[in-house]
């Protein structure tokens, strides 16, 4: 069984699929709403954005607590949650809603799947320096005349990993409204190409395996202990 960290810094998890435009989604959106209304009673209609087709902007259905979202547009379907109880539950819930979605719209082909995890690690400066080495196994090689100490930090990369790609963002931020300083760890593993809706479960599994491995490898032993609740 995959380890679940009681003090994980996860802020949100999201899984999105994209597909060639399907106009029946606009015509039968109300049928999908009827099927999920008990669990997701709140509807948010997108505002018109200049330069963006209204049909490509998702309608959002939220649960009563507003901790979980389902979003549908003519070319995408996604689930987003800030109430993450482990990958097994997240996957099972997504698949149950995708089954309803697929039963109505019968999507034949996917063009992209993406699993994204956003984490906020609280940090405490050491004499104005971000002590990121206490949290992350990341090293930046600099010329001798440049200090390795950082007061600001932004690192972004997209690299091939397995059959897909992993987009990784590490950034120092101020978390509002409290104004606390954090390290943002944002991982988005995505697959593109001619993808099959019948393999959604496999795509979720491989995406989670790569993001989880990257996340746990990046973390120092000290911060991993904090996530396990072993140290404060």
Question: How far is 89 from 76, CA to CA, in rounded Å?
Answer: 22
Q: Are 68 and 80 in contact (CB under 8 A)?
A: yes
Q: Each residue of 128-158: pLDDT tens digit?
A: 888 888 888 877 777 777 766 777 888 999 9
Q: In this predicted model, what pLDDT tens digit does every residue of 19-64 receive, in sequence order? A: 999 999 999 999 999 999 999 999 999 887 776 777 778 999 999 9
Taking the C-alpha atoms of residue 224 and residue 201, their distance in angstroms, rounded to an integer, is 28
Whether the pTM exceeds 0.85: the reply is: yes
SS3 57: coil
């Amino acid at each position: 069984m995959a380890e679940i960290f009681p003090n994980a810094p996860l802020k949100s998890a999201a899984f999105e699929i994209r597909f060639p435009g399907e106009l029946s989604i606009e015509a039968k959106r109300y049928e999908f709403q009827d099927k999920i209304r008990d669990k997701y009673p709140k509807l948010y209609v997108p505002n018109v954005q200049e330069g963006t087709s209204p049909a490509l902007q998702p309608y959002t259905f939220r649960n009563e607590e507003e901790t979980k979202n389902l979003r549908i547009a003519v070319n995408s379907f996604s689930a987003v949650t800030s109430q993450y109880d482990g990958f097994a539950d997240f996957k099972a819930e997504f698949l149950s809603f995708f089954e309803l979605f697929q039963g109505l719209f019968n999507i034949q082909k996917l063009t992209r799947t993406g699993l994204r995890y956003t984490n906020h690690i609280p940090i405490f400066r050491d004499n104005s320096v971000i002590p990121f080495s206490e949290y992350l196994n990341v090293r930046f090689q600099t010329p001798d005349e440049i200090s390795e100490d950082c007061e600001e930090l932004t690192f972004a990369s997209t690299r091939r990993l397995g059959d897909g790609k992993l987009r990784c963002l590490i950034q120092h931020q101020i978390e509002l409204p409290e104004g606390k300083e954090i390290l943002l760890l944002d991982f988005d593993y995505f697959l593109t190409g001619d993808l099959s809706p019948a393999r959604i479960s496999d795509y979720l599994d491989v995406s989670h395996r790569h993001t989880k491995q990257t996340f746990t490898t990046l973390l120092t032993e000290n911060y991993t202990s904090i996530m396990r609740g072993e140290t404060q």
